[in-house]
Amino acid sequence: MSFEIEAIVLSVKAMYAASSMAAKTPPTLESSTKLDLDHSPITPGVRLALFYATTFFVIGVYMPFWPAWLSGKGLGPTEIGILLSITTWTRVIASPLVAQATDRLGRRKPFLVGLALMTLCTFWLYTQAGNFVTFAIVAFLLGCSFSPMIPLAETTTLTITKDRGLDYGRIRLWGSVTFIAASWGGGLWLAGRSDDAVIPLILVGCVSIVCSCFLLPDVRISKPTNTKAPIRRLLTSPIFILFLASAGLIQGSHAAFYGFSTIHWQAAGLSESKIGLLWAVGVAAEVLLFAFSGAVLRRTGIVGLLLIGASAATVRWTATCFVTDFMGLALTQVLHALTFGATHLASLNFIQRAAPAGSTATAQALYSALGLGVASAVMLTIAGKLYADYQGIVFLVMAIAAITGGLCALALRKYWSGAQLGVE
């Protein structure tokens, strides 16, 4: 075990050093943007990194271990799939509406602070829920609070890195580092303890998110002069819809993994510590990809990354259906760098290049809500029923979704010239 710890630490250090050489690809700073840094002695980069670190700590505990906690409360796979999909479906509506409000009002920090406080309250309410109906209500509130924070933070970070000449990768890196620590450390913490031991980890993480949001720089932008709502402008673009379909199907193919991999691996006899390490391996591979993202993007292009993500997802989910030993699963987890990482990298760069001026926050939120939301919600609902009836066969269905996303990427390559939407 000490060798495994040293290996991950060394890989993180190597990735951190390499990230300083990665190409910077933030979007063009919006006109009439004002950065209010509050004269804090803490640099903007550190304040942003703290947000990512605290937020992804919670995600690193929530994603691997929350389905198991729900299972410990007497919920079956179908019910768990429904609860997770409620949260996902809610963000489909909540994230774009919150982002459009920030684009129109020109403020982001107040929204982030409010959402963080609401997230803390929502996770506490989970501990008070006693039946499926109350769990469903709290799952809805979680979709309204936790989900919209990431896209808002991403647009804030990209704006500040452009204005201050900072490296986005070196800031975003700390989110992945804490995800690794939380998923692996969470597994070690939960080993030999009851499922309820996950609750203090979640609540402490939520308190730290609230504190980090109060420290965030305040980005203020002028209200858009275009009278057409940003959401409508984007959703009437066939190219943007095609992008969402491609990214959404590839990212949505992770639904069975997010919802049921921990339960599936527990049934195969893997311990919580090994399961946490498997999650950490996947994110560590993703971090290494982002460290060299500039070179990778120049070589493959945006659509090329989508195709790589689709191909890797097809291989990964097919293998996950049949492999249950630790070493075999660790090898499939390395593909997370391509299935999620490459697809997410392609999506961020598509938004930076294609979103109309004044619509970046809305475009990012639509990707989060539709690209990461609708497909995931549908697939989570399907996955819950399929896993209850057929267990590991559900991953073959995820492979089919990834193939379909790859076909949409091929269509995007044919019809998108690479220009900003509305300028082609």
Of the two residues 321 and 33, the one the predictor is more confident about is 321
pLDDT tens figures, 68-82: 899 888 888 888 888
Lowest-pLDDT range of 32-41, 160-169, 305-314, 315-324: 32-41
Lowest-pLDDT range of 62-76, 125-139, 169-183, 312-326: 169-183
Predicted pLDDT at 12: 34
pLDDT tens figures, 242-277: 999 999 999 999 988 988 888 889 888 888 788 888
Whole-number average pLDDT of the chain:
81
How far apart CA 112 and CA 154 sit, in angstroms, is 11
Where residue 320 falls among pLDDT bands split at 50, 70, 90? very high
* pLDDT at 9 > cutoff 50: no
% residues pLDDT > 70 (the chain): 86
- Of 110-114, 163-167, 177-181, 312-316, which one has max mean pLDDT? 312-316
CB-CB contact of 409 with 246 (8 Å) = yes
Report which secondary-structure segment, H or E, holds 244: helix 238-252
Predicted pLDDT at 35: 59
Lowest-pLDDT range of 38-42, 135-139, 227-231, 249-253: 227-231
Q: What domains can be seen in the chain, in order of their start residue?
A: 13-24+32-415 (1.20.1250.20)
% residues pLDDT > 90 (the chain): 33
Predicted pLDDT at 314: 97
CB-CB contact of 332 with 207 (8 Å) = no
pLDDT tens figures, 12-48: 333 333 333 333 333 344 445 555 555 667 788 899 9
Of the two residues 343 and 29, the one the predictor is more confident about is 343
Lowest-pLDDT range of 63-67, 217-221, 254-258, 267-271: 217-221
The residues that bridge with 107 in the sheet, in sequence order, are 220
Predicted pLDDT at 390: 78
The average pLDDT across 229-233 equals 72
pTM, 2 dp: 0.69
Query: Residues, the chain, total?
Result: 424
Beta strands in 86-170 (DSSP E): none
CB-CB contact of 243 with 343 (8 Å) = no
How far apart CA 107 and CA 113 sit, in angstroms, is 12
How far apart CA 373 and CA 339 sit, in angstroms, is 16
Lowest-pLDDT range of 22-36, 90-104, 159-173: 22-36
